[in-house]
């Protein structure tokens, strides 16, 4: 037992007892990675609310802190004088955690999780991740805005596009490599930016860096990564290419520093997020948080109740809602990286993007995590391309699409309609969360296998041959719900049944 160890502090080291005294709103110390911090004054400013910190007042908060704060957070946001120095961790009482039946059930599921070879498609990783991920991590990754209609529509929209394949084409040799912003890639997808990778895997985003390298695809580095930007860049190998996803800070100096640093470190594209002036309300995530901190608290109606709105909003308060078209020239002035607007959602804005001179747009609704009832990227693409072709502008910009891509057929549909490539986010997070790098590797390999076969079956041996006549999109833009069900009528109908067993 740890408690049998010698509980002596080295000189200058704090002890668990020292910390434990500061366990209230009046004086609140916490331990993170073996060091103590006085966060008393910071409490009201904490984007995630004070309550979640007070839960760890006087204690070690590392485990909760780790996945949702980039490594340099404390240095950036807490004044030096509040850094109290090292703690002799042998003197800190290990907390006996309450047995959480949900968590116990999860650990049981981990023991019998399917082996990697049982995953035959990208949905399979999601199915496994759902069973083996921690509840709050799953809630954060899997949630969407409001009723999650758009989140689900994103994949569903692909189901409204059907193929008109060509036959009797020589498809012995298939080449589905392409280029994106000048970079040659093996297959027309990239790993799009997603936040808080360490919620799913202790190593975080660098796992995706390694997977992208192996399959020669581009990784887009997220602003809200769990790893620091430099850690992710450092994980790059050889001539591997990365892009930067950017949330623009209200303080443009900070933004400028980030952009210039990214360019200096070799990033080859700047993807400015334009669909998130405010980060979305994701009720599934909020509900999951709530049950964590508040379930047996009787409401006082007052300000003491933690109105936590989930992980993402907590870490995103810096995003500038004033960002607008007039800012784009400034970005062009501070970097030579190609600039791409991520989150464009109608043809008028694509035209404006071309006029303002950016190199690309991502037709995206942020994975359904921002505005519910935003249309899917693929539907917007089908609206955009005919207009651009009519103007002869189709080649003046590179158009990407993300959201809902799960199958190689989805990728092919997007390319047929005119996209340069597609971004894939959650599926790789799930593969990583369930199986680490081998999961990401297999997920990408499965897409390549599907891609090879489906390119053959549609009768095209290269991505140049993909074109709009190969798809039928007539049902795509029809957003209908059925007439509400005829409850009484259905109740009295005896459904047909097949033959019954005979008696023995």
- Closest approach of Cβ 417 to a copy of itself, in Å? 14
CA pair distance 242, 181, nearest whole angstrom: 11
Q: Show contacts with a copy of itself in window 417-446 (CB under 8 A).
A: 438
Residue placing its CB nearer to a copy of itself in the complex, 301 or 392: 301
CA-based radius of gyration for the chain: 25
Interface pick for a copy of itself out of 6, 12, 112, 333 (rule CB under 8 A): 112
Task: Choose one: 168-176, 196-204, 205-213, 251-259; the region binding a copy of itself (CB under 8 A).
Answer: 168-176
**Is residue 1 a contact point for a copy of itself (CB under 8 A)?**
no
Q: Show contacts with a copy of itself in window 478-497 (CB under 8 A).
A: 478-484, 486-489, 491-497
Residue placing its CB nearer to a copy of itself in the complex, 90 or 148: 148
Q: Which residue in the list 37, 190, 247, 430 is annotated as catalytic?
A: 247
Tokens encoding 129: 């991740």
CA pair distance 420, 177, nearest whole angstrom: 11
Q: Show contacts with a copy of itself in window 216-275 (CB under 8 A).
A: 274-275
> Is 285 among the catalytic positions?
no
**Is residue 332 a contact point for a copy of itself (CB under 8 A)?**
no
Q: Show contacts with a copy of itself in window 343-402 (CB under 8 A).
A: 343-346, 348-349, 370-375
Task: Choose one: 5-13, 58-66, 178-186, 286-294; the region binding a copy of itself (CB under 8 A).
Answer: 286-294
**Is residue 187 a contact point for a copy of itself (CB under 8 A)?**
no
Residue placing its CB nearer to a copy of itself in the complex, 264 or 497: 497
Interface pick for a copy of itself out of 7, 453, 462, 465 (rule CB under 8 A): 453
Buried b / exposed e over 336-347, threshold 16 CB at 10 Å, is ebbbbbbbbbeb
Q: Which of 107, 99, 152 is nearest to 131 (CA)?
A: 107
* Burial classification of residue 5, based on how many CB atoms lie within 10 Å of its CB (0-12 exposed, 13-18 middle, 19 or more buried): exposed
- Closest approach of Cβ 113 to a copy of itself, in Å? 7
Residue placing its CB nearer to a copy of itself in the complex, 231 or 275: 275
At residue 178, the 3 state secondary structure works out as strand
- Closest approach of Cβ 428 to a copy of itself, in Å? 15
Q: Which residue in the list 60, 275, 285, 402 is annotated as catalytic?
A: 275
**Is residue 69 a contact point for a copy of itself (CB under 8 A)?**
no
Q: Which residue in the list 158, 190, 366, 410 is annotated as catalytic?
A: 366
Q: Please give the size of the binding site for a copy of itself, defined by CB under 8 A.
A: 129
Q: Which of 74, 34, 66 is nearest to 136 (CA)?
A: 66
**Is residue 500 a contact point for a copy of itself (CB under 8 A)?**
yes
**Is residue 111 a contact point for a copy of itself (CB under 8 A)?**
yes
Interface pick for a copy of itself out of 78, 113, 332, 394 (rule CB under 8 A): 113
Task: Choose one: 17-25, 186-194, 201-209, 276-284; the region binding a copy of itself (CB under 8 A).
Answer: 276-284
Q: Show contacts with a copy of itself in window 115-154 (CB under 8 A).
A: 115-121, 123-124, 126-128, 130, 138, 142, 146-149, 152-153
Question: What is the phi-psi region of residue 167: left when phi exceeds 0, alpha when psi lies from -120 to 50, beta otherwise?
Answer: beta
CA pair distance 8, 265, nearest whole angstrom: 45
Q: How many CB atoms lie within 10 A of CB 150?
A: 25
Q: CA-CA distances (angstroms) from residue 437 to 210, 292, 434?
A: 7, 30, 9
Task: Choose one: 38-46, 66-74, 219-227, 288-296; the region binding a copy of itself (CB under 8 A).
Answer: 288-296
At residue 54, the 3 state secondary structure works out as helix
Residue placing its CB nearer to a copy of itself in the complex, 391 or 474: 474
β-sheet bridge partners, residue 339: 270
Three-class HEC string of 376-415: CHHHHHHHHHHHHHHHCCCCCCEEEEECCCCCHHHHHHHH
> Is 435 among the catalytic positions?
no
Task: Choose one: 3-11, 48-56, 107-115, 262-270; the region binding a copy of itself (CB under 8 A).
Answer: 107-115
> Is 83 among the catalytic positions?
no
Q: Are 141 and 431 in contact (CB under 8 A)?
A: no
H helix intervals, 225-345 = 229-234, 252-264, 283-293, 310-314, 328-334
What's the angle, vertex CA 76, arms to CA 63 and CA 11, rounded to 5? 65
- Closest approach of Cβ 19 to a copy of itself, in Å? 30
CA pair distance 460, 176, nearest whole angstrom: 9
Interface pick for a copy of itself out of 299, 333, 390, 392 (rule CB under 8 A): 299
DSSP 145: S
Tokens encoding 184: 């040659």
Interface pick for a copy of itself out of 35, 166, 214, 261 (rule CB under 8 A): 166
State which H helix or E strand residue 320 sits in.
none
At residue 21, the 3 state secondary structure works out as coil
Interface pick for a copy of itself out of 36, 74, 171, 259 (rule CB under 8 A): 171
Catalytic residues: 247, 275, 366
């Amino acid at each position: 037992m740890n408690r049998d160890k010698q509980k002596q502090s080295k000189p200058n080291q704090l002890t668990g007892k020292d910390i434990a005294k500061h366990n209230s709103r009046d004086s609140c110390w916490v331990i993170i990675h073996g060091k103590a911090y006085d966060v008393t004054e910071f409490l009201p400013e904490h984007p995630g609310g004070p309550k979640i910190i007070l839960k760890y007042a006087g204690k070690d908060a590392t485990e909760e802190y780790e996945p949702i704060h980039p490594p340099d957070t404390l240095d950036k946001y807490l004044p030096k004088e509040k850094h109290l120095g090292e703690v002799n961790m042998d003197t800190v009482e290990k907390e006996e955690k309450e047995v959480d039946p949900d968590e116990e059930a999860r650990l049981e599921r981990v023991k019998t999780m399917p082996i990697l070879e049982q995953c035959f498609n990208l949905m399979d990783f999601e199915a496994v991740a759902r069973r083996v991920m921690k509840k709050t991590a799953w809630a954060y990754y899997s949630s969407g805005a409001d009723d999650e209609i758009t989140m689900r529509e994103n994949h569903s929209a692909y189901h409204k596009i059907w193929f008109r394949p060509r036959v009797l084409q020589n498809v012995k040799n298939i080449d589905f490599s392409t280029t994106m912003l000048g970079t040659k890639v093996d297959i027309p997808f990239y790993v799009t930016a997603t936040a808080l990778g360490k919620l799913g895997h202790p190593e975080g985003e660098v796992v995706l860096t390694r997977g992208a390298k192996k399959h020669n695809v581009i990784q887009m580095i997220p602003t809200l990564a769990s790893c620091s930007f430099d850690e992710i860049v450092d994980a790059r190998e050889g001539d591997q290419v990365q892009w930067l996803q950017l949330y623009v800070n209200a303080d443009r100096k900070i933004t400028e520093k980030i952009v210039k640093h990214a360019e200096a470190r070799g990033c080859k594209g700047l993807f400015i997020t334009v669909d998130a002036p405010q980060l979305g309300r994701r009720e599934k995530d909020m509900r999951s948080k709530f049950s964590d901190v508040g379930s047996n608290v009787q409401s006082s109606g007052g300000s003491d109740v933690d109105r936590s709105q989930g992980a993402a909003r907590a870490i995103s308060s810096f995003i500038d809602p004033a960002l607008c078209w007039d800012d784009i020239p400034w970005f062009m002035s501070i970097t030579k990286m190609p600039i791409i607007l991520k989150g464009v959602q109608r043809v008028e804005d694509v035209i404006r993007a071309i006029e303002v001179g950016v190199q690309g747009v991502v037709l995206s609704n942020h994975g359904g995590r921002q505005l519910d009832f935003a249309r899917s990227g693929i539907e917007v693409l089908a609206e955009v391309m005919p207009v651009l072709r009519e103007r002869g502008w189709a080649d003046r910009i590179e158009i990407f699409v993300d959201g809902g891509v799960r199958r190689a057929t989805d990728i092919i549909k997007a390319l047929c309609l005119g996209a340069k490539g597609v971004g894939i986010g959650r599926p790789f997070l799930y593969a990583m969360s369930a199986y680490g790098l081998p999961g990401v590797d297999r997920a990408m390999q499965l897409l390549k296998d599907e891609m090879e076969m489906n390119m053959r079956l549609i009768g095209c041996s290269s991505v140049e041959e993909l074109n709009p006549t190969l798809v039928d999109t007539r049902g795509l833009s029809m957003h209908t719900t059925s007439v509400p069900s005829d409850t009484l009528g259905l109740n009295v109908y005896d459904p047909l049944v097949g033959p019954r067993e005979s008696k023995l």
